[in-house]
Amino acid sequence: MVYLDYAATSPLLPEVIKAMHEAEQKFFANASALHTPGHLAMNKIEETRSLLAKLINAEPSEIIFTSGASESNNTVIRTFEGHKIVTSPLEHHSIIESAKVLSGDKEPALYSYMLANNEIGEFLPIDKITKKVHKNGDFAHSDLTQILGKLTIDIKALDLDYATFSAHKIGGPVGVGALYVKNGVPFKPFIIGGNQEKKRRGTTYNTIGIIGFGAALKHTIDHETWKIYDTKIRVLRNKLARRILGEIPGSSLNTDLDNSLPNILNASFEAAEGESIQLYLDAEGIIVSTGSACASGDIKPSHVLMAKTGDAEVAHSSIRFSFGLNNTEKDVEKVMQVLPKIIDRLQKISTIERKQK
Ligand code: PMP
């Protein structure tokens, strides 16, 4: 299989599987309990907290574990319920939908801008945004889900008040994430009724998941994965982009290769439907997504591509190739062995249909 859907989720790293397997036997106890197994479990949770804090240049006390990026995003937006909430049109639905419901006109305002988009990889100028935001006494959040492990993150230099992370984009388990909350900024817990996370998030600790997240963070730090993305992965992504443009008539890129995450390539193929391309590639063992996996099953064109291109046809004919650490030159070769033929076939069918109409 050629897996090119890492931005949707990534396979568990071997060291994550090992750590979680061990944890099932050794660290299953309720981490809030006063007994010894509880303390041992809590120590492991704090190890993960320290690793994430170290990786993003934060204090461990500024990290709250959550069930994933969606909950982290929801939590920040809820904290500002009734306040002015400003987001970019490229945000994940967990920001856009909750802001739609909870936004009001109170001050101070919350500005939520992701550093890079998950569908097209595009960078947003959050440094300029945070500067303006803080001048006015407002607050800044960024969804850094796709950034962790891909770029170095210095949360203090980024000058953020809140930031969102998820374990399963870096080889950790699904169902674990984190929220960075700068010491002293407003915060309202999303899940109440428990003293966990210093009363900032109730419910029994997901110790095994958090240990898995820790193993993925350790891998990220030990291998300095951002360097691999900046070199090997960028070369593979750009090679695929060049070959698509050179070998497939009617192809265009929705990703600006000079202003995007190095692992994401979004391309459109004139007169070929994204879902059909995805299924034909799937039949060849090549796994990609159309726009955002979070929105698949939804027949509306991707809100991100609509915001960027304003063209429903471009959005409907788009495919996202997202690379991870395991991809090689061979994967690009394999895609290019089959993709031109698939597009050609679909374009021909589409022409026939059009003529018949
Ligand atoms: N934000 C972004 C930018 C994402 O890419 C995703 C996952 N597609 C999410 C939030 C949601 O992440 P999770 O599955 O951890 O809730």
Range in 10-24, 122-136, 139-153, 202-216 with the lowest mean pLDDT: 122-136
Q: Are residues 196 and 345 in the same domain?
A: no
What is the distance between the alpha carbons of residues 148 and 169, in angstroms, rounded to a whole number?
A: 8
Cα(92) to ligand 1 centroid in Å equals 7
Q: Quick check: is 357 in a domain?
A: no
Q: Are residues 66 and 183 in the same domain?
A: yes
Q: What is the dihedral of CA 265, 266, 272, 273, to 10 degrees?
A: 120
Q: Which of 189, 223, 257 is the last residue of a domain?
A: 223
207 shares its domain with 331: no
Which of 166, 199, 223 finishes a domain?
223
Q: Are 167 and 36 in the same domain? A: yes
Domain annotation covers residue 3 = no
203: left (phi over 0), alpha (psi -120 to 50) or beta: left
pLDDT confidence bin for 351, thresholds 50/70/90? low
| Cβ-contact 16, 24 below 8 angstroms | no
DSSP label at 325? T
The residue written with tokens 């033929």 in the block is 341
Residue 2 lies in a domain: no
- The pLDDT, as a whole number, for residue 322 is 98
Q: Are 95 and 87 in contact (CB under 8 A)?
A: yes
Residue 170 CB–ligand 1 contact under 6 Å:
no
What pLDDT score does 354 carry?
44
Q: What is the CATH number of the domain that holds 281?
A: 3.90.1150.10
For residue 155, is it within any domain?
Answer: yes
The pLDDT value recorded for residue 238 is 98
Q: How far is the CA of 353 from the centre of ligand 1 (A)?
A: 37
Largest CA distance in the chain: 75
Q: Which residues pair with 106 in a beta bridge?
A: 83
Q: Are residues 94 and 190 in the same domain?
A: yes
- Tell me the CA–centroid distance for residue 97 and ligand 1, in Å: 13
Q: What is the pLDDT of residues 249-305, one digit of tens each?
A: 999 999 999 999 999 999 999 999 999 999 999 999 999 999 655 555 656 889 999
Q: Cα(2)–Cα(14) distance, rounded to whole angstroms?
A: 18
Same domain, 174 and 309: no
Q: Is there a domain that residue 113 lies in?
A: yes
Q: How many domains does the chain have?
A: 2
Residue 347 pLDDT greater than 60, yes or no: yes
Are 145 and 205 in a shared domain? yes
Closest to 265 measured CA to CA, from 323, 333, 338: 323
355 falls within a domain: no
Confirm if 273 and 281 have CB atoms less than 8 A apart: no
Looking at the fold, whether 189 and 255 belong to one and the same domain comes out as no
* Single residue among 190, 223, 256 that ends a domain in this structure: 223
Same domain, 325 and 199: no
Return the SS3 of 299: coil
Q: Which of 5, 10, 70 to mutate to test the pocket of ligand 1 (most atoms within 8 A of CB)?
A: 70
Q: At 139, is the secondary structure helix, strand, or coil?
A: strand
Instruction: Tell which phi-psi region holds residue 291, choosing left (phi > 0), alpha (psi between -120 and 50) or beta.
Output: left
pLDDT at position 291, please?
62
Percent pLDDT > 90 in the chain is 93
Domain region containing 194: 14-223
> Is 5 domain-assigned?
no
Per-residue pLDDT at 350: 87
Q: What is the pTM of this model?
A: 0.96
Q: Which entry of 191, 294, 338, 349 is annotated as an active-site residue?
A: 294
Q: How far is CA 157 from the centre of its chain?
A: 21
Instruction: Based on the fold, state whether residues 150 and 36 are members of the same structural domain.
Output: yes
**Is 238 part of the annotated catalytic residue set?**
no
Number of DSSP helices (H) and strands (E) in the chain, helices first: 14, 11
| Closest atom, ligand 1, to C-alpha of 294 | 8
Give a yes or no: residue 214 inside a domain.
yes
Asked if residue 184 and residue 85 are part of one domain, the reply reads: yes
Give the pLDDT of residue 352. Answer: 52
Q: Is 91 in the pocket of ligand 1 (CB under 6 A)?
A: no
Q: What are the start-end ranges of the H helices in the chain?
A: 14-26, 36-56, 69-79, 93-102, 126-135, 155-158, 196-199, 207-223, 225-228, 234-247, 274-283, 303-309, 312-316, 329-356
For residues 200 and 239, membership in a common domain is answered with no
263: CA distance to ligand 1 center in Å?
16
pLDDT tens string 319-339? 999 999 999 999 999 999 999
pLDDT tens digit sequence for 141-199: 999 999 999 999 999 999 999 999 999 999 999 999 999 999 999 999 999 999 999 99
Q: Is 146 in the pocket of ligand 1 (CB under 6 A)?
A: yes
Predicted confidence (pLDDT) at residue 356 exceeds the cutoff of 50: no
Sheet of strand 251-253: strand arrangement: 251-253, 264-269, 318-322
CATH number at residue 135: 3.40.640.10
